[in-house]
């Protein structure tokens, strides 16, 4: 996983999952999780239109994420590694 500099697409709703500019509009994610991914015609990209809220929904979003051919679907936790913690 060395996808540096991929920026989050502006259409994503706030939350854990989002798509990046790497998206090539293949529509795979929307076929796997149609309730969670939507299409933006102008940029020919898909974005997260609804975050999963129950495990079954998360499952399909994760499936889309894992199978996205260009690795354009991310989970926010993947970026959070600068927080050292240290709470007692």
Using the rule CB under 6 A, give the single segment among 10-18, 23-31, 49-57, 76-84 that binds ligand SF4: 23-31
Member of 25, 38, 50, 51 binding ligand SF4 (CB under 6 A): 25
For the CB of residue 79, give the shortest distance to ligand SF4 in the complex, in Å.
17
The answer to the question of residue 11 lying near ligand SF4 (CB under 6 A) is no
The answer to the question of residue 9 lying near ligand SF4 (CB under 6 A) is no
For the CB of residue 36, give the shortest distance to ligand SF4 in the complex, in Å.
10
Rounded to whole angstroms, the Cα distance separating 7 from 54 reads 27
Rounded to whole angstroms, the Cα distance separating 51 from 36 reads 6
Member of 27, 60, 62, 75 binding ligand SF4 (CB under 6 A): 27
């Amino acid at each position: 996983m060395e996808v540096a500099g991929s920026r989050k697409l502006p259409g994503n709703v706030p939350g854990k999952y989002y798509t990046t500019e790497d998206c090539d509009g293949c529509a795979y994610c929307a076929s796997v999780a149609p309730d969670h991914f939507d299409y933006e015609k102008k940029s020919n990209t898909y974005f997260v239109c609804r975050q999963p809220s129950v495990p079954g929904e998360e499952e399909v979003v994760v499936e889309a994420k894992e199978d996205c051919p260009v690795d354009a679907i991310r989970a926010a936790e993947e970026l959070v590694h600068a927080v050292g913690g240290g709470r007692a």
